[in-house]
Amino acid sequence: MNFDLNIGKLKTGGKFLQPGIHNATFKGVSLQTLTSKAGDNTYQVMSVVFDIDGFGEWTHNLFPPTDSERRDSQFGPNPSQVEQFMIFIKHLIDTANPEVATKIDSGEIKLTAPNFEKFVKLVQTHTNAFVGETTKIKLIPQRNGFSSFPGFPGRIGKTGELYLGTSFIGNDITLTANEVKSIENAKTAAPTQMTSVKSMAEDFASGEEDDLPF
């Protein structure tokens, strides 16, 4: 085997998005189609895009929720996929269009649609006025090593009401003690050992996305 180092100038990798609170510009909501790694399946997603200061454009994709059942845990019931999805959207609209959010709360406006595509268009309509506006977003370390919105922001109160457990879009957001600990742990995490490369490859091949809740 011959070895030749004449491979040209090397390009550096892209910027790594750090966890924490970032200044960002809202770029909008849209319906997008993703293709599986094998190229044999396509998926519709709601793409929520921000331009993050010092990083650039960043997209958070939401898949259509498929489960409306609540699940029990040692701390009590957890919101269903559908409820988590709706809590995310309501939190976005609370920031992007407070007037509409207030009318949703009072029942004056009903944000309903017969399918995912039409629902995305409704959300797009009610957030379009916020495109180009600046805000803050909170990103938390995920199991896959990247940073994203909290995967399961919704909670269920003692009387069964849904509420937002942690705000992640808006100018008044803060980090909870658990989130601070999670970020500090991510910063001090040991580098990936070479012995785990094979298992990592198997994980990527499975196509699973740890940072997407649905």
> 143-188, pLDDT tens digit by residue?
888 999 988 899 999 888 999 999 999 999 999 899 999 999 888 8
> Which candidate, 144, 45, 131, places its Cα nearest to that of 88?
45
Average pLDDT estimate for 36-50: 91
State CA 159 to chain mean position distance.
28
202: its two tokens:
């198997």
Model confidence at 13, in pLDDT bands (50, 70, 90)?
low
For the stretch 29-32, contacts whose Cβ atoms lie closer than 8 Å and that sit 24 or more positions apart, written own/partner, are 29/92, 29/120, 29/123, 29/124, 29/127, 30/120, 30/124, 31/117, 31/120, 31/121, 31/124, 32/61
Interior angle at CA 186, CA 180 and CA 187, nearest 5: 90
Per-residue pLDDT, 26: 98
State CA 72 to chain mean position distance.
23
Prediction pTM value: 0.79
* Gyration radius from the chain CA atoms: 20
Helix, strand, coil percentages in the chain from 3-state DSSP, rounded to 5: 30, 25, 45
> Which candidate, 20, 45, 25, 18, places its Cα nearest to that of 175?
20
CB 123 within 8 A of CB 92: yes
Average pLDDT estimate for 33-59: 92
